């Protein structure tokens, strides 16, 4: 019977349940991937806020509030 395990998210090697990655190399790659994903989410959020701000300004200026 196969022991309970999970797989490394970077290379797919079987690892114990309490580990995140199988090696330091995979851990560095994993950390870089997570940081890149967070950065992308922040950029997307910034763009959405900017677009909403522009729309609000356009609506308010059309109604002669500005």
Q: How long is the chain?
A: 66
Query: pLDDT tens per residue, the chain (66 residues)?
Result: 678 899 999 999 999 999 999 999 999 999 999 999 999 999 999 999 999 999 999 998 887 665
**Who contacts 22 (Cβ-Cβ below 8 Å, separation ≥6)?**
8, 10, 11, 13, 15
Q: What are phi and psi of 28, to 5 degrees?
A: -65, -45
Q: Which residue has the tokens 């109604």?
A: 63
State the pLDDT at residue 65: 63
């Amino acid at each position: 019977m196969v022991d309970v395990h999970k797989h490394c998210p970077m290379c797919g090697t079987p690892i114990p349940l309490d580990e995140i990655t199988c090696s330091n190399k995979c851990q560095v790659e994993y950390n870089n991937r997570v940081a890149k994903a967070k950065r992308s989410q922040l950029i997307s959020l910034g763009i959405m806020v900017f677009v909403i701000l522009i729309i609000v300004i356009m609506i308010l200026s059309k109604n002669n509030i500005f």
